[in-house]
Structure 1
Amino acid sequence: MKVNSIISVLALSATAFASPQPKGHKHLPTTVIAGVEVVDTQIVRDAHALIAKFPNYLYFHCMRTWLLGAATINANATLKAEVDLEAHALGTILHDLGWDMSTDSPWVTHENRFEVDGALGAVSFIKSHKSYKPCYWNTARLERIFDGIALHGTVGIHPYKNVDSKWITASVGFDGVNFTPEEVPTASFNSVVAAYPKDDFQAGAIETFTWMAATKPDATYNTFVELFGTAYVPGYNATGHRSFDRITAGWNPQ
C-alpha cells in the first residue's frame, strides 16, 4: 500500500473514532411506552426513574417531550437511522432538571439560566452513571446532548445544529402550552397525552418560571423568564440588567 493511501486510511479511522456514532434502533434494546417504541437501556431507565420523583406536571412534561419526539422520529425511517436515539432519550427526559424547585436541589444553581442547569445536570448524570465509559459517551456525544438542552429556550438556532441537538430541542417544542404540534402523528400524540395528561402543565410552568424570577433573578434577565418576573414577582425589575440597557447607556440620539 502506498504511503499516501496509508495516511488516508489512518485519517479516516481517526475521524470515525473522534465522531459520535449514532446508536440506531437496530443496536439498542427497546420497549413501548404509551404506544411509542423507545430505547430501553439501563441509563435511560434510570433517567426515567429520576424524573418520576418530580411533581407530575414536570414529570409528565419530560415524558411527553421524549415520547412525542420519539414518535415523530419513528415515523421517518431515514431520520430514525440518523438520530442517536439513546442521546435523544436522555436529552429529552432530563432537559428540565433546572425546573427542580426542591430545597437544596443538586441540579439548580443561582447563577445559571435553567436551560444550562438542565444541560449540565444531564451531562453530570451520564458521567456519574455506573455504566459510563468515556469511549462510549465521548466528548462530542455529550456536547450534542448539552447543546440540545441548553438551546431549548432560545428560538431560531437549533434548526441549524447537528441532527441530535436539533431533535432534542425540537422535541421539547412539541410539548408547548396551548397548541398541538403538526409534526407529531395524531394517534401517537393522543396516546401520549392520554397516558401523561397536560391538565396542570400550564399552571406548573407559570409557577416554576415565577419561582425562578423570584429566587435567581440574575439568571432570568435577557431571557423569556424575565417576562414572568415582570408580571408576577413584586419588586422584580430587569431595567439596568438587560443588554438593551448596557448598549443604550449614555446614548443621545440627535
Structure 2
Amino acid sequence: MKVNSIISVLALSATAFASPKPKGHKHLPTTTIAGVEVVDTQIVRDAHDLIKKFPDFLYWHSLRTWLLGAATINANETLKAQVDLEAHALGTILHDLGWDMSPDSPWVTHENRFEVDGALGAVRFIKEHKSYKSCVWTDARLERIFDGIALHGTVGIHPFKNIDSKWITTSVGFDGVNFQPPEVPADKFDSVVAEYPKESFQKGAIDTFTWMAATKPDATYNTFIEPFGTAFVPGYNATGHRSFDRIVAGYTPQ
C-alpha cells in the first residue's frame, strides 16, 4: 500500500508539474495606467516604449486599445483568469506597427496589408527581445498574437477564434471613432480617454489609410482601406484588382 501510495503521489506531482501555469494576472507584476491595472513585465514596458516614438494620435490609439481592453477584462474575474494578459498587452500595444509612416520603417512592407505587417512585426519584436525564450513564447502563443492582430481589420471571424486572439481583436474594436463601447466600464473609459485623448484620431486614421492606398495600393484592394483610396487618392482604381472583377470576368447574365 505504501508503494502504491508513493507511486500515486509521484504521478500526481508529475501531472501538476507538466500542467501549464495559469495565464491570468496572479503571477505577473502589474502597474496602473490611467486608472487601469495592467501587466508590467519588461517586454511589455519595452513595447510601450517602442510606440512612444509614433505620432501622438497613433501612440494614444494603441494605448487606449490596450487599456480599454484590459479594463473590460478586469471587470470579469473569470475572464481575467483565462486571458493571457501579457499576450493581450503585446498584441494590443503593437497591433498597428503597420501604420508607421516614417521613411524606411522597419515594420512596413510594400506587399502586405497593414494588419499582416503589424502581426509579423509584433512576433519579430518578441523573438528579438532580450528576454525571449522559446519555451515561454511558444509557437502556439505567438500564433495567437499574430492572429489577433492580423484579423483586426476583418469583420466576422475573430469571435470564433481562441480567447486570446479574440480579445486582442475585440480590444482594438473598442477604440473606434465617435462612439463609446458599452462593454467598457464607463469610469474606466473616461479615465483612459482623459489621459490619452481621441480628438486627433479620426484625422490621423484617415491620413494613414490614404497614405497606404497611395504608397502600397496592391495591399489595399479587397480590404476596408480600398474606399479611402477611391475617395482621396487621385488615380487610384481598384477595378480589375478585386475578387469581384475576377469572378465576373466573361460572365453574361442569362
After superposition, residues 132-147 of structure 1 pair within 5 angstroms as 132-147=132-147
Asked if structure 2 preserves the Cα contact closer than 8 Å seen for 1:62 and 1:96, the reply is yes
Q: Give the aligned partner of residue 74 of structure 1.
A: 74
For residues 66 and 197 of structure 1, what CA distance do their matches in structure 2 show? 14
User: What is the rounded CA distance, in whole Å, between the counterparts of 1:149 and 1:117 in structure 2?
Assistant: 9
Task: Tell me the distance in 2 between the aligned counterparts of 1:120 and 1:28.
Answer: 25
Alpha-carbon distance between aligned partners in 1 of 2:22 and 2:99, rounded to the nearest angstrom: 29
For 1:131, the equivalent position in structure 2 comes to 131
| 1:100-179 → structure 2 map (5 Å cutoff) | 100-179=100-179
- In the aligned structure 2, how far is the partner of 1:170 from the partner of 1:233? 30
Identity over the aligned pairs, expressed in percent?
82
Question: What does the per-residue CA deviation read over 1:67-98, in whole Å, with 9 as the maximum and x for residues that have no partner?
Answer: 00000000000000000000000000000000
CA positional deviation for 1:24: 1.3
Per-residue deviation at 1:253?
1.1
1:179 and 1:75 map into 2 onto residues whose CA distance is: 20
Does the CA contact (< 8 Å) of 1:99 and 1:114 recur in 2? yes
Seen in structure 2, the aligned counterparts of structure 1 residues 173 and 22 have a Cα distance that, compared at 3 Å, is farther
Task: Report how many residues are paired.
Answer: 245
CA distance in 2, matches of 1:169, 1:27: 24
Which ranges in structure 1 are unaligned for 5 or more consecutive residues? 2-8
Amino acid at match of 1:58: L
Q: TM-score, normalised by structure 2?
A: 0.93
The offset of 1:23, in angstroms, is: 2.5
Q: 2:31 is paired with a residue of what secondary structure? A: strand
Counterpart for residue 53 of structure 1: 53
Give the aligned partner of residue 86 of structure 1. 86
User: What amino acid maps onto 1:33 in structure 2?
Assistant: I
Runs of 4 or more consecutive aligned structure 1 residues displaced over 6 Å after TM superposition: none
- Structure 2 gaps of 5+ residues are 4-10
State the TM-score, normalized to the length of structure 1: 0.93
AA partner of residue 206 (structure 1):
I
CA RMSD of aligned residues (A): 2.0
Partners of 1:48 and 1:93 within 8 A in 2: yes
CA distance in 2, matches of 1:49, 1:21: 28
1:239 paired residue number? 239
Higher alpha-carbon Rg: 2
The C-alpha deviation readout for 1:122-161, integer Å capped at 9, x for no partner, is: 0000000000000000000000000000000000001110
How far the C-alpha of 1:22 sits from its partner, in A, is 4.9
